[in-house]
């Protein structure tokens, strides 16, 4: 059996990908478990001779009995810049295929794997491709995290149609409205897309509804 891959991307950096991912993993742990994979992280902190990744460490804290931190996050860089620039500045050659090889190793136990990208869905992810290129390579189920704020409707729709043009299936949109506002972006976005749109972030009930729908629709029975 091949592991299910769920790729968490976003419309930009700092939209709540890690926050959503950690909450989803806590939910899935109740139903057989899962693993996490964030192949590259920049802006890591130095501790003795090691680089400590901030976001990946959050995943490891939840999953430490199931997977090593180096397996969750094999490539780390100190500078808080894009993966492409970090790789280039370090004079390394890190390609999408390197990520795929690392992913193959942890895929052998058949557990679903929650994968977090870097930046937005169309941000450079390695020296030879974007986040969305890696989605295409691994044939993942794909979630787009959108920060619920002014301007997010146009940004969401531009990503939605870009996925179609790129011929990569976008399975659902998650509107992160952890900071409540008076806008109705949720219903406005739903008018223009033919995929599920879920609310997340403002209550435990809302989050559970979101996770239940995602797990039932994106994970193999």
Q: How far apart are CA 200 and CA 214, in angstroms?
A: 12
Segment 90-112 shows an average pLDDT of 94
Indicate if the pLDDT at residue 174 is higher than 90: yes
Q: For residue 95, what pLDDT is reported?
A: 98
Q: For residue 74, what pLDDT is reported?
A: 98
Reported as a single tens digit per residue, the pLDDT across 54-97 is 999 999 999 988 999 999 999 999 999 999 999 999 999 999 99
- Give the lowest-confidence range in 104-113, 132-141, 189-198: 104-113
Relative to beta strand 50-52, strand 129-130 is unpaired
Burial environment of residue 19 by CB neighbours within 10 A (0 to 12, 13 to 18, 19 or more): middle
Q: For residue 144, what pLDDT is reported?
A: 98
In the predicted model, what is the mean pLDDT of the chain? 94
Which domain does 95 fall in, by range? Answer: 5-218
Q: How far apart are CA 32 and CA 52, in angstroms?
A: 28
CATH number, domain of 147, equals: 3.40.50.300
Q: How far apart are CA 217 and CA 99, in angstroms?
A: 26
Predicted confidence band of residue 178 (pLDDT cuts 50, 70, 90): low
Q: For residue 221, what pLDDT is reported?
A: 57
Q: For residue 110, what pLDDT is reported?
A: 85
pTM for this predicted structure:
0.96
Indicate if the pLDDT at residue 181 is higher than 80: no
Indicate if the pLDDT at residue 2 is higher than 60: no
Indicate if the pLDDT at residue 189 is higher than 70: yes
Tally of structural domains, the chain:
1
Q: For residue 1, what pLDDT is reported?
A: 43
């Amino acid at each position: 059996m091949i592991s299910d891959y769920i790729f968490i991307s976003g419309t930009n950096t700092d939209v709540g990908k890690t926050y959503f991912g950690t909450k989803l993993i806590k939910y899935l742990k109740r139903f057989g478990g899962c693993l996490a994979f964030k192949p590259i992280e920049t802006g890591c902190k130095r501790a003795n001779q090691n680089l400590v990744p901030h976001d990946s460490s959050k995943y490891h804290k939840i999953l430490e009995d199931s997977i090593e931190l180096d397996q969750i996050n094999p490539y780390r860089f100190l500078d808080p810049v894009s993966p492409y620039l970090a790789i280039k500045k370090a004079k390394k050659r890190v390609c999408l295929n390197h990520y795929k090889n690392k992913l193959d190793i942890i895929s052998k136990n058949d557990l679903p794997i929650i994968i977090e990208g870097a930046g937005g869905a169309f941000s450079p992810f390695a020296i030879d491709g974007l986040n969305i290129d890696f989605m295409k390579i691994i044939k993942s189920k794909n979630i787009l995290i959108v920060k619920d704020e002014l301007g997010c409707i146009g940004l969401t729709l531009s990503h939605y149609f870009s996925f179609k043009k790129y011929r990569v299936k976008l399975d659902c949109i998650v509107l992160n409205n952890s900071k409540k506002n008076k806008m109705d972006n949720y219903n406005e976005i739903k008018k223009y897309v033919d995929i599920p749109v879920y609310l997340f972030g403002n209550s435990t009930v809302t989050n559970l509804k979101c996770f239940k729908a995602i797990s039932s629709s994106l994970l193999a029975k």
